[in-house]
Amino acid sequence: MFEKPLGFFVSPNGQFAAPTNFSVRTILTPSKAHSHRRFTQVRQLPTGPTKGVTFLLYPLRVRLVTLMIMLVLVAFAFAQSPAGRIMTFREYNRLHHGLPYILQVKEGKGRLVYFGIKHTCDPGNPQLQTIRKLWLALKPTLVLNEDISAEPRATLQESVEIDGERGALSYWAKQDRIPMRSIDLNRADEAAMLDKQFPPATVQLFYLIRGLQQELPRRLKQDPHMKPGDVAVSDLKDLTREGVRGVLATAADIDKAWMSLHMPGDWREPKITWIEPNDNGPLNRLSEASSELRDRHMVNVLLAALEKGDKVLAVVGASHVVMQEPDLRAAKGLVVIKSAG
């Protein structure tokens, strides 16, 4: 009988390391055929606890079987983990896809048309005509939109010019008497999660710049007497009502926060590059964290609606659909068909 040091173990973080308190005792015992049969026995040595999971490496056959089991378990763990299925922006940026990007999904009686759009405020944009055709074919029982839902307005043109595609969805939903709600994470809940990773003032500034980048030109055109600072202060009040806490309340507060982050340019002339999800700057990194939270929430909303048997038409920015597609395809029982993009 002899003792042989155990080759390695896998720690909870997935790293390989040499164990400190396990050994393998190899025992030779005679079989009925008077030959020798070898088996291994693990015994714990009194050198302190270990958090790793041990694997026998001897003999070779056991080593190979163990390795196969490990690979299967790792693959299964990744397949079950939502964090492993939402595409990262680094992965997304390596892709090229068409617009619009449309998925059609089935689960039991549930149906989903998931429309990835290039955001628009143009009533004549052909994407809106495509959405309407899909709407009439699906006859949805539930309509979902990105961000907050828009209030129905008098005409389709006015709805789109003011609220973009959300306005068109709201107009058609009222016309066809279809329930409509946001697919997005509640703003207050999202902000509270982001506050745990970033200073509240930076979170507040991120939401402000994102809104100004989308709305400032239209708002200034509507009221030539307004200045960017006036629009910003109004938006800060709206954010507070939505549950976004922070210290910014005036244009001077925004100036101070902007300088503290060493941001380029003037926030009064907002640029999309400041809030694109990447590692280029503080608002970019916050945007990446925000997008991940939102994508996970959107998938959960869609899966719940499909499980109920709803016929869902959901319209969001195309990048969200592309990045969520692996997660949807991994969901048990779903049939996903890409029909455009």
pLDDT computed for residue 63 by the predictor: 62
Q: What pLDDT score was predicted for residue 2?
A: 40
Find the mean pLDDT for residues 156-171.
Answer: 96
- Cβ atoms of 103 and 321 closer than 8 Å: yes
pLDDT of 252-307, one tens digit each? 999 999 999 999 999 999 999 999 999 899 999 999 999 999 999 999 999 999 99
d(CA 127, CA 130): 5
pLDDT > 50? residue 52: no
Q: Which residues in 118-263 belong to E strands, given as ranges?
A: 142-145, 180-182
DSSP code of 275? T
pLDDT grade for 341, boundaries at 50, 70 and 90: confident
pTM across the whole model: 0.72
Residue 214's pLDDT band, with cuts at 50, 70 and 90, is confident
Domain spans of the chain?
Answer: 2-80, 86-341
pLDDT at 13 over 70: no
Report residue 226: phi and psi, to 5°. Answer: -80, 150
- Give the rounded percent of residues in the chain with a pLDDT score beyond 90: 69
Q: Select from 102, 97, 171, 165 the least CA-distant residue to 137.
A: 102
Asked whether residue 164 carries a pLDDT value surpassing 50, the answer given is yes
More confident residue, 57 or 332: 332
* Structure-model confidence comparison of residues 114 and 215, the more confident one: 114
| Residue 58: Cβ within 10 Å count | 14
Token digits for 69?
């089991």
Cβ neighbors of 23 (< 8 A, separation 6 or more) are: 3, 4, 5, 6, 42, 43, 45
pLDDT the model gives residue 305? 98
**pLDDT of residue 337 exceeding 50:** yes
Phi, psi (rounded to 5 degrees) for 19: -75, 155
Alpha carbons 137 and 140: distance in angstroms, whole number: 9
d(CA 45, CA 57): 18
How does pLDDT run across 123-136, given as a tens digit for each residue?
Answer: 999 999 999 999 99
What is the CA 36 to chain-centroid distance, rounded?
A: 57
Q: How sure is the predictor about 85, in pLDDT bands with cuts at 50, 70 and 90?
A: confident
Position 73 scores a pLDDT of 52
User: What is the predicted pLDDT for the residue at 38?
Assistant: 38
